[in-house]
Amino acid sequence: MSLEQSTIDLLRALPAPVGLNFIDNKAVSAASGEVMPVISPIDGTQLTVLAASDSEDMNRAVAAARRSFETGCWSGMAPRERKRIMLKWADLIDRHALEIAVLGVRDNGTDIRMALKGEPQSAADTIRFYAEAIDKRNGEITPTRHDILSLIHREAVGVVGVIIPWNFPLMIGSWKLAPALAAGNSVVVKPSEEASLSILRVIELAAEAGIPPGVLNAVNGRGAIVGEALGLHMDVDVLGFTGSGGVGRRLLEYSARSNLKRVYLELGGKSPNLVFADAPNLKRAARETAASIFRNNGQVCAAASRLAVERSVYKDFMEAVRAEATAMRIGDPLSLAFTTGALANAAQLAKTRAAIARAAEQGATVYHGGNQLHAESGGFYHEPTILTDVATEMDVVQQEIFGPVLVARSFDTEEEAIAIANETVFGLSSVLWTRDLSKAHRVSNRIKSGVVHINCYSGADITAPLGGVRQSGNGSDRSLHALEKYENLKTKWIQL
């Protein structure tokens, strides 16, 4: 889709919708009637308001989901018909893609080029992927005694709760919603209060496509209230979450305190980027190093925020990364004149500023950037920032900032590079640059992460799983394996 500034400006000028709940295919206010402001990161002004729901609203949504599941209006629908509806849903998202992308940018600050491709277009593709799988997954007959027929059936688990983050609500949301729905479940979504508007629009389109009432619901509000209500609910069978480790721990506690619902967590990371002197293309490595952390202002769960470069090429490589960072144009995410937009909210800007200040206190050097930008606009903008002279024990090395901050150092040996890669508690993603195939295998086998990119960054698509190890979570989004999170296996043992 070609982008024209005039079209973007027309969509920007439209009044932003009120963020209502969506239950039983109807947009409804919070039971209390209360709302909370939605602040645009573009200029810091109020964009609209969002329903400030409570446990009563969540109970209503879960009841609708349970009712729809038990009636079989979706779970019992012929697979071919579920597939048809989901494909229609994807088509509707494509038809409204630019409108949805602009609305999302106004809500979370991602630049419009990335938002269009990474949000509605990505979500539509994901929905199609799982829709096409619906009528192609079979049960099994197991080999056993000649007088026994042993059958294995895949069944929907029931009601799935999904808690979506603010950085890519449609892309990450679809990674959870699409397989849960394809498996025949009913779903309750808790969007982030920091970016709800685009996912609410997409859920409305699901109803327009023909998903029955109660099958896909959304409840807005603060995580401490409605997120807790969803996590503690006795009638939710599975919970999928992407977000912080602190919230992930609370969700596990909620499971233990309620019905022992399965909880799948994607908790971010502090991903290493190892550049060996024999990288096949150091110029490309520098370009993708900068993109991996500075595009979308580091607000990417798999952002390669820790750079380690072999000493013999360290100085030249760092200059190349600085040149790439300098070339980035930071500003209004709905203007095609810029390449990178705003941080999603004031809290993220403050967190970024505090992390840089703390790193300086602990002895790090600001090699590039370090400053807030466009403060006069009221928006939340920050320079790409590179910190050197860092050490393992520093907060900026150990803690996920979710901002445009890259920490960098050199290494001398393969063993030292591996130690640097594994020096944090996280294990979501990693990057490795070398032309030596044996080295690539040795090092990638020893890096503790769910994904290893070799001589590329973000090469994977919906066909490959994304999941972390250690404190980056459990389970996998994407690929056919994601369906397994939302299914139960039932064995039938039949005497012949």
Q: Is 90 left (phi over 0), alpha (psi -120 to 50) or beta?
A: alpha
- Of the candidates 158, 313, 255, the one whose C-alpha atom is nearest the C-alpha of residue 474 is 255
Cα–Cα separations (whole angstroms), residue 309 to 273, 324, 406: 8, 16, 13
266 assigned to active site: yes
- Residue carrying the six token digits 């602990």: 362
Burial bucket for residue 17 (CB in 10 Å: 0-12, 13-18, 19+): middle
Residue type, 91: D
Sequence-distant (6+) residues with CB within 8 A of 94 are 120, 121, 124
Q: How far is 160 from 150, CA to CA, in rounded Å? A: 28
Cα–Cα separations (whole angstroms), residue 331 to 247, 348, 380: 31, 16, 9
Phi then psi for residue 217, to 5 deg, are -125, 155
Q: Are 444 and 454 in contact (CB under 8 A)?
A: yes
Pick the catalytic residue from 119, 193, 194, 266. Answer: 266
Q: How far is 231 from 253, CA to CA, in rounded Å? A: 9
Helix or strand (DSSP H, E) at 291: helix 282-294
**Alpha helices of 328-447 — where are they, by DSSP H?**
346-361, 395-398, 414-421, 437-446
DSSP assignment of 65-117: HHHHHHHTTTTTS-HHHHHHHHHHHHHHHHHTHHHHHHHHHHHH---HHHHHI
Q: Are 148 and 226 in contact (CB under 8 A)?
A: no
Rounded to the nearest angstrom, the gap between the alpha carbon of residue 202 and the centroid of all alpha carbons in its chain is 16
Rounded to the nearest angstrom, the gap between the alpha carbon of residue 194 and the centroid of all alpha carbons in its chain is 14
Q: Are 414 and 443 in contact (CB under 8 A)?
A: yes
Length of the chain: 496
Q: How far is 281 from 340, CA to CA, in rounded Å? A: 25
- Residue carrying the six token digits 């024999």: 278
Residues noted as catalytic:
266
